[in-house]
Chain A
Amino acid sequence: MEIEFTLNGVRKRVQVEPNELLLNVLREKLYMTGTKYGCGIGECGACTVLLDGEPVLSCLVLAADVDGREVTTIEGLARGEELDEVQKAFVEEGAVQCGFCTPGFIITAKSLLMENPNPSEEEVREYIKGNLCRCTGYMNIVKAILRAAGVIPQTP
């Protein structure tokens, strides 16, 4: 079947199977490889994208279901070379190590800050608990999100 949706502000038309997952269509058909596979069963958050502004796990969403809707992936956040606030904070607070979990975290953080522009540290932790990171111990990720929200200052 053919679906049409907006991907990072651009209209896309693509042939998909009825059982095909959004994650695979993004990665294998549209070559948007920033969204990562980590488990395929909703346990790691590496595949998080925004669907009509809401965070979803693209490994659990059928591509057919995004027909007519709007998808934002990690590739859609920066304006050219200019990074989004959350991306900038991740770079500056050392929140990136291997980087494989990073796109999922940044999308999740974006969604948190849209819902709650002034989160407490506890709220940040709770909100990102579905995203796994094996490298950072989450400390600098939490710091980066609070910093992007302006809750804490930049670490010197």
Chain B
Amino acid sequence: MALEVLERRPEGRVGREALTIVGRKTLRKDAVAKVTGRELYASDITLPNMLYARVLKSPYPHARVKSIDVSKAVEMGAVVITSQDVPQVLFNPRLVSIPEATYKDWRVLTDRPLFVGEPIAAVAAETEELAQRALEAIKVEYERLPAVFDAIESMKPEAPKLHETIILKDREVKVERNVACRLEIAEGDVEKGFKEADVVIEREFRTNRRYHNQLETKAVVVNLEPGGGVTIWCTTQTIHNTRLLIHEIFGIPMNKINVKKISLGGSFGSSIHTNIIVPIAVALALKAGRPVKLVYTREEDMHDHVSFQMIFRLKLGAKRDGRLVAGQLQAIVDIGAHQIQAYPILGVIAGWWVSLYKLPHVKYEGIAVYTNKVPSCAFRGYGNPQTTWAVETLIDELAEKLGIDPLEFRLMNYVGEGDIFWGQGPTVKTVIRSCGVEELLRRGAELIGWHRRPKPGQQKGRFRRGIGMGRGFHTSSAGSPVPGSVIDYSGAMIKINEDGTIDYITALMDHGGGSLEAIAKIIAEELGVPLENVNIITADTQTTVYDVCTHASRGVYAGGATALKVARQVKQKLLEMAAKILDTYPHALRIRPDPKRGQGVIYVEGIEGKEITIGEVAMTARHKNWGTIAAVDSHRTEAGPPHFTAYFVEVEVDTETGIVKPIRVVAGADIGTVINPDLARGQIHGGFAMGMGMALLEDTPYDPDTGDLVNRGFLVDYKTASAPDMPRLKDFTVFFAETYEPTGPFGAKGLGEGAFNPAAAAIANAIYNAIGVRFYELPITPEKILQALRGGGENV
């Protein structure tokens, strides 16, 4: 697989004017199926002779299973598995990093549960109800063990130990003080840096533990194939890594594991790893010898995945003239009971941090700590929204202390074009080649009326309004000029059918954001065919080449670059054949979409009559036995460029109820060439709603007595933004910067995570502007606001 630099195109608008499909509003291809209820999701699959499964989960946060009696359940006709019936291997359900960066501490079923909700046993029966009754008939005797729910407590010598040893690659690692892993980075001389600084501020920040609340709960259906193979439909962001993990656990040959691509009802990181129900369902199906379906309830789902929670100690120093000189960050990350991507997150937190503002001297320490809670996994932004919230809060404070407009302070210090960007921690670095930060900040400030915002803390009356900003970015893929510790490449196959229609076959998933829609447009643009002619094929692991995962906002950028590379190979073959037919040369030919004929037409410029449709070429190729016009390839992008975003938010704080309402939003995004304008706007709307949840609403606290979630997994007590919480249509402005990313397909970058990352920071800064109080703990609930106001406006 060669590293390939995509053809450079002219900067800015000039290059885009020639585009006929990219950048236009088009209707998404899967929309009709989705609005008519015909789109299938994993939980919609039903197979003949299928059994329904349920999982028995630990009611205790830490325990040892002393005995387990399944006889009653078996008598009832259920198939039962316990930890004795599954392969005794330790694994990590996330296979995005290389083995040297993947710590393993999971089992399919355990007899030493480490959180409320950890699977102990599972049953399969003719109906879901029978499965449930069989589950209730299983008798388990537990020995309760002491548990710990706070990362700082967990590191104390007297804290209960969760893991003795875990596995890194093939070697055993002893776990000391519940520290799962750690990472230290230093550049420059931070002590010297702080000495040079005129102003230094240090704060401690504590983030919330947010539940993804993707609308579709985790689901899996497993079919058994003759000869010991399995076919799997499941909620996943990566069909190929699901296949690899099932192979790793069960030893089934890879070519006998077929994971089917199926629509995903949202994910936001909760299925970057293979959800634990997948190996459970495979084990059940193997034992039962029949297909098995397992769908989690919402309550079970809330005990299955959650965001990382961080305690940051952040210190920044600046010169009086506004130059930042030094920064120090300690990140203590509560990862819950098992590692999903604990080591990688320590790296990316450092990366997000140093890529926001230029810091000549930095020191970083990241510590990932086990606690007896639901295991944490990626959640849109992968540590970036948390880091950005802390940094953007402190930057605001520093600016105020220096007497510099926070907007200008940011412009003086941001990491931009020509600087180094750590797209995925210290091993994935890229030179920034496109950057619209200044445009985003200047235009956003003008649109919101930044310079007319009130002075913090000066307002009176019940309803107080304030304006705040937060800026940020996310990477587009984990691509880089050298391999790094994160795997990042895509695959695509494109073939031309004999009527000139195109099939695009890829393992890349679309979670709903529209990555595949955008890629279809990239292909249509390159091949010069009407968009309707490009078909996104439902595929599976048996019919596709590897694609790492849809995460890291890589779909459009890396998946699109791969499709473009393959489309060019197909185009070359197509033009060679057309040249033979038209008696000319491939490089003398052009293609244009001809909507009237519903075809792409290949022609020689200026010479009449020398033209032929793509369908005619493909059909001729068939009749002359030249073969199918198709290509398949893998591709690794040589960069992982940042896409930049900025939020300007006006909030209204009700000082009697403590309720904060965002009433006006201006959101700017630099995503290079905008391929799908309306879907891109939709990503930003959704990102803001999630940011509102992070800033104001969402958390999953634990009850130390039961060791369970305070809300016990009930959605009634996990509030996310609903329609009336959002600003009015006319008060939500989205704009895009005029940039062009030279390494991206037609100049495009990613968006999914940047759309979310700085939203919470902007809301928090707006609250400060309204009431003059800063909050260092999320979410900023009405109670905290009232308490702060009663306390006379002290920062909390």
Contacts and interface: CB of A to CB of B under 8 A. Distances in A.
B214 A143 contact: no
A124 B268 CA distance: 27
B216 A100 contact: yes
A114 interface: no
Contact of A134 (B36, B720, B732): B720
B216 A33 contact: no
Interface in A14-48: 17, 24, 27-28, 31-41, 43-44, 46
Nearest to A91: B31
B728 A121 contact: yes
A34 B720 contact: no
Contacts of A77: 36
B561 to A, nearest CB: 23
Given A83-B36, A138-B689, A142-B723, A94 B679 contact: yes
B44 interface: yes
Interface stretch (B138-146, B363-371, B463-471, B680-688): B680-688
Interface residues of B, number: 61
Interface size class of A (residues with CB under 8 A): 35 or more
Contacts of B41: 33, 36, 100
Contact of A102 (B35, B295, B726): B35
Contacts of A75: 36-38
B514 interface: yes
B728 A137 contact: no
B216 A36 contact: yes
B684 to A, nearest CB: 8
Given A94-B682, A100-B41, A135 B726 contact: no
B23 interface: no
B581 to A, nearest CB: 36
A7 B588 CA distance: 60
B32 A83 contact: yes
B264 to A, nearest CB: 6
B724 A126 contact: yes
A37 B217 contact: yes
A51 B514 CA distance: 33
Given A38-B215, A99-B265, A132-B215, A140 B682 contact: yes
A61 B793 CA distance: 49
B39 interface: yes
Nearest to A127: B723
Given A40-B298, A98-B264, A142 B716 contact: no
Contact of B37 (A74, A121, A132): A74
A6 to B, nearest CB: 17
Contact of B714 (A41, A87, A97): A41
B690 interface: yes
A98 B512 contact: yes
A95 to B, nearest CB: 8
Nearest to A34: B37
A60 to B, nearest CB: 13
A101 interface: yes
Interface of A: 17, 24, 27-28, 31-41, 43-44, 46, 73-75, 77-78, 83, 87, 90-94, 96-103, 106, 121, 124-126, 128-143, 155-156
9 contacts: A33-B37, A33-B40, A36-B265, A74-B37, A96-B28, A98-B266, A137-B688, A140-B681, A155-B678
Given A97-B266, A134-B686, 7 more contacts: A33-B37, A100-B214, A100-B512, A134-B690, A135-B266, A136-B686, A140-B685
